[in-house]
Amino acid sequence: MLGSWLNIAEIELSVMAKQCTNRRIPDIEFLTQELVSWSKQRNTDEIGVNWRFRTKDARIKLKRLYPIKLT
């Protein structure tokens, strides 16, 4: 199952914050270099998203948001 592009973007931003920008960055040029290097490595490694929250699980956890359909 695929997550929405927004969920995937949020996950990537979180990873970037932990791996790349989790320290003081002296200037915009250094930040640009770090982000370019990080994104190149991330793309080279072909890191994907391991989507573990399935529809079935969502229906249990978020039961109040999924009304029962009567057929």
Q: What per-residue confidence (pLDDT) applies to 6?
A: 85
Nearest to 1 by CA among 61, 55, 48: 55
Per-residue pLDDT tens, the chain, 71 aa: give them. 456 788 888 989 999 999 988 899 999 999 999 999 999 999 999 988 777 777 778 778 888 776 766 66
Report the distance separating Cα 19 and Cα 43, nearest Å: 14
Report the distance separating Cα 67 and Cα 69, nearest Å: 6
pTM of the model: 0.62
CA angle 36, 39, 40 (to 5 degrees): 85
Q: What per-residue confidence (pLDDT) applies to 3?
A: 60
